[in-house]
Amino acid sequence: MKKIKLHDKEFRLLIEASAIDLAVTGLAQRLNHDLQDEQPLFLSVLNGSFMFTSDLLKKITIPGTEISFIKIASYAGTCSTGTVRELIGFHKNIEGRTIVILEDMIDSGKSMAYLLDLLKARNPKKIYVATMFYKPKALVCKIPVDYYALSLENDFVVGHGLDYDDLGRNLPDLYILDNRENKA
């Protein structure tokens, strides 16, 4: 069994890169079919989505496809606002555009709920959510998950863009936190 160590934690292989590629190819085919007349603007959420974006967009054949990258800053707000989030350096006019948000992972859905609110305020025609990984049992916010490549159980994973304290993003395969090793 393939294992890796990142910081203090052990992880074991969960999904090989070839299986992720296959699922992402299937997702690209669905998008190519559904959005062929839409001239979509893909918005890749950094940092985690860089590998998914590269894998997916090589397989998108829709005429007029555009790609932009967005980053969200989160910081503690006041008591009444809770966590405050804002888009960093994203000034593109998206009014009337068909947007496809590309996320690495939808877990609780809170990040996506915030992002949808921020983008809706800019009056796009339609926003689709596409994520590489999705943990349906962890979802607490009511958000549309229009497209996903693979669904996962409610476990912590790293690799293929996802990190554990900044490590592991470059790993092609997906690894799961190995609870047996990390208990003790």
> Could you list the residues that contact ligand IMP (CB under 6 A)?
48, 103-112, 156-158, 162
108 contacts which partner out of Mg ion, ligand IMP, none, CB within 5 to 8 A by kind? Answer: ligand IMP
* Residue pair 134/150 in contact by the 8 Å Cβ criterion: yes
Quote the tokens at residue 5.
Answer: 């160590």
The nearest distance, CB 116 to Mg ion, in angstroms, is 14
Nearer to ligand IMP by Cβ, of 107 and 173: the residue is 107
> How would you classify residue 7: left for phi > 0, otherwise alpha for psi between -120 and 50, otherwise beta?
left
- Give the residue carrying structure tokens 């998206």: 94
48 touches Mg ion (CB under 5 A): yes
The nearest distance, CB 67 to ligand IMP, in angstroms, is 18
The nearest distance, CB 95 to ligand IMP, in angstroms, is 26
Q: Is 107 a catalytic residue?
A: yes
Nearer to ligand IMP by Cβ, of 108 and 123: the residue is 108
CA distance to 73, 93, 119, per residue, from 123 (Å): 21, 9, 7
Looking at 107, 117, 173, 178, which residue is catalytic? 107
Nearer to Mg ion by Cβ, of 108 and 182: the residue is 108
Residues carrying an active site annotation: 107
Where does this chain bind Mg ion (CB under 5 A)?
48, 104
